[in-house]
């Protein structure tokens, strides 16, 4: 794509980067076929190519973001399916991230939207506040019947539809908080490694059982696990809302404490059980590339970050239990129909966008599940997002619900006993549309290698 940035514009490193990305695009349109919003809405401006044009115009002409530009950028899920499809290697992620920051700085949203976005950015990264909000949501959930439901015919959300979506996603019960920051879990038997485990923010409130399963499995296999003190939310939530000041502040704080831990006690990896967070931590090096004080440290931390499945695939797991043993345990846990013949558990593997498109991890979770006794089924249209996408299912509930329903219908086609995923956002989103149990991949692996049955909410 031809660009016409001036020399003065190109002196700005962000614009220089955008120029490089835009020039890589040959406007072939292959990406439109796999873009969820284009598939649903059929509007070129809701496709990657359309959005690339809108961003180019905004940056090149140095125009303030218009209502139209904001509408189409807001509808982008940042699922990155377009990056997987693009034959020219266009880095759409860095381009749309830049557009979101510009919108956040230069566009004035309606007051109700500003308040909602600020509230999400304030509450979600703070586990204490988020837990309090979830308890409140449980009591106010009955009010959701008074609020307007999502619409399919006009995907322009109102504040009330967004509030309704928020209530619908709140869990009916909460587990007690998991292990606290600063704890070190000793390796059992001969020590084979030492890792930090990201504690996360929303996940530690919604499903502390996930990190507990990771700790169980890792320590049982000789890996010492540390929950680093003073670690914060990774910044993914505010990064996707365009609030880079907050996101970069959190990145710097995490880099400082992780690097200290790595230098003082040694770390083989920083493991992440929420792939949305993993994608952003792996991008810290890029996000802080112009920060003289942090660029080198950020690159080191990004290199240390790994999805839990990437790490577990490298250690040899204890032999799996016999499938029949697992089935018997599963029957008692999940009350499959009485009298049903024992058989292998069929797991529909939901490939989170942040894992398959953001981190290009597609095989490791499935291989691990198969090797450990589960029958793994791919979900049709697995490249399409489930509609979760951070805060997207709250801010764009109409599109998010359509994508969830499509995902759930595709999952139903493989008639699974369980659904496995590697991202809490997807788990909550999919669980809101199906009665099939949704668990994290690591919970199944922990169970299959001697840990407890997954505690499904």
Q: What is the DSSP string of 256-290?
A: HHHHHHHHHH--SEEEES-HHHHHHHTTHHHHTTT
Map the footprint of ligand SF4 across residues 346-385, applying CB under 6 A: none
Residue span binding ligand SF4 (CB under 6 A) among the ranges 84-92, 313-321, 340-348, 426-434 = 84-92
51 sits near ligand SF4 (criterion: CB under 6 A): yes
Q: Decide whether 50 or 193 has the Cβ nearer to ligand SF4.
A: 50
Q: Is 433 helix (H, G, I), strand (E, B) or coil?
A: coil
Q: How far is the CB of 59 from ligand SF4 (least distance, A)?
A: 16
134 sits near ligand SF4 (criterion: CB under 6 A): no
Residue span binding ligand SF4 (CB under 6 A) among the ranges 83-91, 119-127, 188-196, 344-352 = 83-91
49 sits near ligand SF4 (criterion: CB under 6 A): yes
Q: Which of 29, 42, 128, 177 binds ligand SF4 (CB under 6 A)?
A: 29
Residue span binding ligand SF4 (CB under 6 A) among the ranges 30-38, 147-155, 191-199, 214-222 = 30-38
**Site track for ligand SF4 across 91-130, x = CB under 6 A:** -x--------------------------------------
411 sits near ligand SF4 (criterion: CB under 6 A): no
CA distance 287 to 257: 18
Beta strands in 193-344 (DSSP E): 193-197, 223-226, 269-272, 305-307
35 sits near ligand SF4 (criterion: CB under 6 A): yes
Q: How far is the CB of 89 from ligand SF4 (least distance, A)?
A: 8
Token pair 């449980």 in the structure block, residue = 138
Distances (CA, A) of 45 to 71, 83, 171, 251: 10, 17, 35, 32
CB 298 within 8 A of CB 282: no
Distances (CA, A) of 285 to 15, 164, 452: 18, 37, 37
Q: Which of 13, 16, 23, 26 binds ligand SF4 (CB under 6 A)?
A: 26
260 sits near ligand SF4 (criterion: CB under 6 A): no
CA distance 162 to 166: 6
Q: Which of 18, 21, 58, 90 binds ligand SF4 (CB under 6 A)?
A: 90
The neighbour count for residue 36, using CB atoms within 10 Å, is: 28
Q: Which of 45, 54, 69, 76 binds ligand SF4 (CB under 6 A)?
A: 76
Nearest Cα to Cα of residue 275 among 240, 238, 305, 304? 305
Q: What is the DSSP string of 113-155?
A: HHHHHHHHHHHTT-HHHHHHHHHHHHHHGGGGGGSPPP-SS--
Cβ neighbourhood burial of 439 (10 Å; 0-12, 13-18, 19+)? buried
Q: Please give the backbone phi and psi of residue 260, each rounded to the nearest 5 degrees, phi first.
A: -60, -45
Q: How far is the CB of 425 from ligand SF4 (least distance, A)?
A: 15
Q: Which of 3, 10, 17, 30 binds ligand SF4 (CB under 6 A)?
A: 30
Distances (CA, A) of 290 to 19, 220, 369: 17, 41, 40
Q: Decide whether 194 or 407 has the Cβ nearer to ligand SF4.
A: 407
Q: Decide whether 45 or 313 has the Cβ nearer to ligand SF4.
A: 45
Residue span binding ligand SF4 (CB under 6 A) among the ranges 87-95, 102-110, 196-204, 265-273 = 87-95
Q: How far is the CB of 107 from ligand SF4 (least distance, A)?
A: 18
25 sits near ligand SF4 (criterion: CB under 6 A): yes
CA distance 95 to 422: 26
Q: Which of 13, 16, 27, 156 binds ligand SF4 (CB under 6 A)?
A: 27
278 sits near ligand SF4 (criterion: CB under 6 A): no
Q: Is 36 helix (H, G, I), strand (E, B) or coil?
A: helix
Token pair 């514009």 in the structure block, residue = 9
Q: What is the DSSP string of 46-58?
A: GSHHHHHHHHHHH
Number of residues forming the site for ligand SF4 (CB under 6 A) = 25
Distances (CA, A) of 447 to 221, 321, 412, 450: 13, 9, 24, 5
Q: Which of 18, 69, 82, 248 binds ligand SF4 (CB under 6 A)?
A: 82
Q: Decide whether 48 or 208 has the Cβ nearer to ligand SF4.
A: 48
Q: Where do contacts with ligand SF4 occur on this chain (CB under 6 A)?
A: 25-31, 35-37, 48-49, 51, 76-82, 85-86, 88, 90, 92
């Amino acid at each position: 794509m031809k660009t016409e940035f001036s020399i003065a514009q190109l002196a700005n490193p962000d614009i220089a980067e955008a120029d490089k990305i835009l020039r890589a695009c040959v406007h072939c349109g292959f990406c439109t076929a796999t873009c969820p919003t284009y598939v649903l809405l059929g509007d070129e401006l809701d496709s990657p190519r359309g959005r690339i044009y809108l961003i180019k115009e905004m940056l090149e002409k140095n125009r303030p973001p218009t209502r139209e530009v904001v509408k189409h950028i807001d509808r982008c899920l940042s699922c990155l399916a377009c990056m997987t499809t693009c034959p020219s290697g266009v880095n759409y992620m860095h381009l749309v991230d830049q557009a979101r920051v510009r919108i956040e700085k230069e566009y004035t949203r309606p007051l109700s939207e500003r308040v909602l976005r600020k509230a999400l950015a304030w509450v979600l990264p703070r586990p204490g506040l988020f837990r309090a909000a979830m308890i409140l949501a449980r009591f106010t959930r009955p009010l959701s019947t008074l609020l307007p439901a999502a619409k399919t015919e006009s995907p322009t959300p109102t504040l009330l539809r967004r509030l309704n979506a928020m209530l619908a996603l709140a869990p009916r019960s909460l587990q007690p908080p998991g292990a606290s920051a600063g704890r070190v879990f000793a390796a059992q038997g001969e020590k084979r490694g030492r890792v930090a485990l990201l504690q996360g923010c929303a996940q530690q409130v919604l499903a502390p059982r996930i990190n507990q399963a990771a700790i169980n499995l890792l320590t049982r296999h000789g890996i010492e696990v540390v929950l680093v003190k003073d670690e914060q939310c990774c910044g993914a939530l505010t990064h996707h809302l365009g609030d880079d000041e907050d996101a970069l502040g959190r990145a710097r704080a995490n880099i400082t404490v992780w690097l200290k831990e790595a230098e003082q006690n040694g770390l083989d990896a920083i493991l992440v059980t929420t792939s949305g967070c993993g994608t952003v931590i792996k991008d810290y090096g890029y996000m802080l590339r112009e920060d003289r004080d942090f660029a080198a440290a950020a690159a080191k931390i990004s290199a240390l970050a790994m999805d839990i499945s990437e790490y577990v695939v490298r250690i040899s797991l204890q032999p799996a239990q016999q499938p029949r043993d697992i089935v018997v345990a599963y029957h008692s846990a999940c009350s499959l129909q009485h009298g049903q013949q024992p058989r292998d558990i069929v797991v529909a593997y939901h490939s989170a966008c942040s894992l398959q498109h953001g981190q290009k991890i597609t095989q490791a979770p499935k291989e691990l599940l198969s090797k450990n006794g589960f029958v793994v089924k791919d979900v049709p249209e697995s490249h399409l997002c489930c509609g979760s996408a951070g805060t997207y299912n709250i801010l764009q509930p109409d599109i998010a619900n359509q994508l969830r329903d499509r995902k759930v219908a595709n999952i139903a086609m493989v008639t699974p006993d369980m659904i496995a995923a590697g991202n809490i956002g997807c788990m909550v989103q999919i669980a809101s549309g199906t009665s099939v149990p949704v668990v994290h991949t690591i919970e199944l692996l922990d169970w299959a290698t001697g840990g407890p049955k997954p505690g499904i909410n």
